[in-house]
């Protein structure tokens, strides 16, 4: 099982599950049960048609500590009070569940429908592992489990390469299988604008055209986003929108040149992309008219998210004073609309509210990077910009914590999934893809590397809002590329974000990872067939 459950107690005997097995459930759990049956069929090809064998019920499970951190939907976690400015906070959330297999059958329970869904997800993995010729002989055992951190997510870049709704649904299914509960959509950047703002039609008519190089652009209609939000919500995943500002706004300036600086500058990066040095100007009234138009259009499209991600990163060429002024005013506008603020770590250079969440990503140390002789050299024109940015970045996390904000742990070293794969693939075609996928600047990383760390070693657990990986698409040209960099890294993310068991033992984890591949084949997901794992 991935992530590893908190408590596992082996039992005596087995239970044989076949297509004639069925589920006994109260009416209020009909939705999660129906989705379990559908997902199990997709995972394994086995459709349950009977009426007995599995019992699902609402019952408390408090043998596991409640999750720490914050939830993207704003709900307080079990045993905690909601923050003072808890826009979107509702009923208490609890994902802790129990799963018991005995000779008499299978029982799944939890105090909420969400908890039961997590338990049924574990049952999916058990059935997939033990299924042979339409029969799964499940060893008797009792599992009691719950998440370590409340926010467990993936940031998906749909700008540099546009990924349509069908591919996003596939990613949601991956997150669901590993009990991740946040999809952070990076919807705007220099290369394109991917979300409708009816009062600003040029954003999609002009700003959405194209991506990096000659890749096609695109955007999500309001109907498509509504479908994605609902699809994710059915799986207890919150989609959090990111509108990146005041930097990363070249697509905005392409659509509305009157918002652009008088003398915008660019730096060629040598990969078909450019670094844009222009930003929105906080001193201009038309900037704020634009920001309000955008917030008013986008916030209603994500009703389940208590947060709006305002970006705030890499504002090349912007003064510290202007950057702070922009972040503070944009944050105030978000709060006025009943939402909370999340942003990349650079927003900590402005005044924050204690309910704000800061995404810590820049763990690269400029003073030690020169020690790596294999590190690629950035363009000469870009070097001083990078040096200045990295020197400032050292102070961001401490500044955020001093102001009472919590951190989403997303360090480049461990959780940037656009790093090249270090593991060799058993598939020659994947070896060709591996040569071009991932940013060389970060260095290659093995699958073992991805589970060889602990978020609590970077930040005190009480100061962690959650754990989130990021996938950027500079080198990704299609859905196969995307999935090849995501798998088998997503399970490792889940192991770090959910499991209380730490440190992770690589041989034991690799054995669990190997048993995931039958589901991936049935789902037609693409994954790196690392020679370091004995795939089932």
Portion of the chain with pLDDT greater than 70, in percent = 93
Compute, in degrees rounded to 10, the torsion defined by CA atoms 107, 110, 114, 116.
Answer: 0
Say whether pLDDT at 533 is over 70.
yes
Say whether pLDDT at 272 is over 70.
no
User: Where do the structural domains in the chain lie, given as residue ranges?
Assistant: 7-61+96-145, 151-497
Q: Which of 158, 131, 105 is nearest to 482 (CA)?
A: 158
pLDDT on residue 216: 94
What phi and psi, each to the nearest 5 degrees, are found at residue 233? Answer: -60, -35
The one catalytic residue among 95, 100, 242, 314: 314
- In this prediction, residue 84 has a pLDDT band, given cuts at 50, 70 and 90, of very low
Tell the residue number behind the tokens 């970060």, with chain if given: 442
- In this prediction, residue 88 has a pLDDT band, given cuts at 50, 70 and 90, of very low
- Four-way CATH pick for 7-61+96-145: 3.30.379.10, 2.60.40.10, 3.40.50.720, 3.30.950.10: 3.30.379.10
Structure confidence by residue, pLDDT tens digits, 101-121: 999 999 999 999 999 999 999
Is residue 472 within 8 Å of residue 418, measured between CB atoms?
yes
Structure tokens at 441: 């600047």
pLDDT on residue 81: 53
What is the H or E stretch that residue 519 is in?
helix 517-523
- In this prediction, residue 264 has a pLDDT band, given cuts at 50, 70 and 90, of confident
Residues constituting the chain: 536
pLDDT on residue 377: 58
Instruction: Report, as an integer, the average pLDDT of 41-46.
Output: 98
Cα Rg for the chain, rounded, in angstroms? 23
CA 140 centroid distance within chain: 33
Instruction: Report, as an integer, the average pLDDT of 1-16.
Output: 97
Say whether pLDDT at 87 is over 50.
no
Structure confidence by residue, pLDDT tens digits, 440-458: 888 999 999 999 999 999 9
The strand pair at 188-189 and 192-193 is best described as antiparallel
pLDDT on residue 86: 41
Domain 151-497's class?
alpha beta
Structure confidence by residue, pLDDT tens digits, 473-519: 999 999 999 999 999 999 999 999 999 999 999 999 999 999 999 99
Instruction: Report, as an integer, the average pLDDT of 50-61.
Output: 95
Of the given ranges (201-210, 269-278, 281-290), which has the lowest mean pLDDT?
A: 269-278
What is the three-state SS of 285-353?
Answer: HHHHHHHHHHHHHHHHHCCCCCEEEEECCCCCCCCHHHHHHHHHHHHHHHHHCCCEEEEEHHHHHCCCC
Structure confidence by residue, pLDDT tens digits, 386-415: 777 778 899 999 999 999 999 999 999 999
Say whether pLDDT at 89 is over 50.
no
CA distance 366 to 5: 38
Say whether pLDDT at 366 is over 90.
no
- In this prediction, residue 266 has a pLDDT band, given cuts at 50, 70 and 90, of confident
Structure confidence by residue, pLDDT tens digits, 123-139: 999 999 999 999 999 99
| Mean pLDDT, rounded, of the chain | 93
Q: Which of 245, 339, 351, 239 is nearest to 290 (CA)?
A: 245
Structure confidence by residue, pLDDT tens digits, 235-263: 999 999 999 999 999 999 999 999 999 87
- In this prediction, residue 317 has a pLDDT band, given cuts at 50, 70 and 90, of confident
Give the DSSP per-residue string, 1-58. Answer: --SPPSEEEEEEEEEEE-TT-EEE--GGGHHHHHHHHHHHHHHHS----BS-EEEEEE
pLDDT on residue 10: 97
The answer to whether 314 is a known catalytic residue is: yes
Structure tokens at 317: 């060429």
């Amino acid at each position: 099982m991935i992530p590893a459950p908190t408590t596992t107690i082996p039992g005596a005997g087995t239970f044989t599950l076949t297509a004639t097995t069925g589920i006994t459930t109260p009416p209020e759990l009909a939705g999660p049960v129906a989705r379990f049956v559908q997902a199990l069929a997709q995972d394994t090809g086995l459709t349950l048609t009977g009426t007995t064998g599995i019992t699902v019920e609402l019952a408390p499970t408090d043998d596991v500590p409640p999750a720490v951190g914050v939830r993207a939907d704003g709900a307080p976690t079990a045993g905690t009070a909601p923050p003072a400015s808890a826009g979107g906070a509702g009923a208490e959330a609890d994902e802790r569940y129990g799963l018991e297999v005995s000779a008499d059958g299978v029982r799944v329970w939890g105090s909420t429908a969400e908890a039961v869904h997590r338990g049924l997800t574990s049952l999916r993995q058990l059935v997939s592992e033990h299924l042979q010729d339409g029969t799964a002989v499940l060893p008797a055992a009792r599992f009691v489990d719950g998440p370590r951190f409340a926010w467990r997510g993936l940031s998906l870049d749909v700008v540099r390469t546009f990924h349509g709704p069908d591919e996003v649904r596939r990613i949601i299914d991956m997150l669901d299988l590993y009990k991740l509960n946040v999809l952070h959509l990076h919807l705007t950047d220099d290369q394109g604008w991917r979300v409708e703002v009816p009062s600003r039609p040029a954003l999609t008519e002009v700003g959405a055209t194209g991506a990096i190089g000659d890749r096609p652009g695109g955007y999500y209609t309001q109907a498509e986003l509504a479908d994605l939000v609902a699809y994710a919500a059915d799986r207890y995943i919150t989609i959090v929108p990111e509108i990146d500002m005041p930097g990363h706004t070249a697509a905005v300036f392409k659509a509305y040149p009157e918002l652009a600086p008088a003398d915008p500058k660019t730096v060629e990066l040598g990969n078909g992309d450019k670094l844009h040095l222009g930003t929105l100007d906080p001193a201009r009234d038309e900037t704020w008219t634009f920001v309000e138009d955008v917030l008013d259009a986008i916030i209603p499209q994500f009703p389940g998210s208590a947060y709006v991600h305002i970006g705030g990163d890499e504002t090349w060429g912007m003064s510290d004073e202007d950057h702070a002024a922009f972040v503070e005013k944009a944050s105030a506008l978000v709060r006025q609309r009943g939402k909370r603020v999340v942003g990349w770590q650079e927003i900590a250079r402005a005044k924050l509210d204690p309910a704000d969440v800061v995404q810590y990503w820049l763990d690269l140390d400029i003073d030690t990077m020169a020690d790596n002789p294999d590190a690629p050299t950035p363009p000469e024109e870009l070097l001083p910009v990078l040096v200045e940015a990295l020197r400032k970045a050292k102070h961001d996390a401490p500044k955020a914590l001093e102001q009472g904000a919590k951190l989403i742990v997303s360090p480049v070293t461990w959780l940037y999934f656009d790093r090249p794969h270090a593991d060799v693939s058993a598939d020659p075609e994947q070896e060709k893809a591996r040569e071009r996928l991932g940013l060389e600047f970060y260095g290659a990383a093995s699958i073992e590397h991805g589970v060889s760390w602990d978020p609590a070693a970077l930040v005190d657990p009480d100061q962690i809002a959650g754990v989130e990986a990021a996938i950027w698409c500079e080198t990704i040209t299609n859905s196969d590329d995307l999935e090849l960099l995501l798998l088998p890294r997503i399970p490792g993310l889940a192991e770090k974000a959910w499991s209380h068991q730490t440190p992770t033992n690589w041989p034991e984890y690799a054995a669990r990872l190997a048993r995931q591949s039958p589901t991936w084949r049935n789902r037609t997901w693409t994954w790196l067939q690392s020679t370091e794992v004995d795939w089932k």
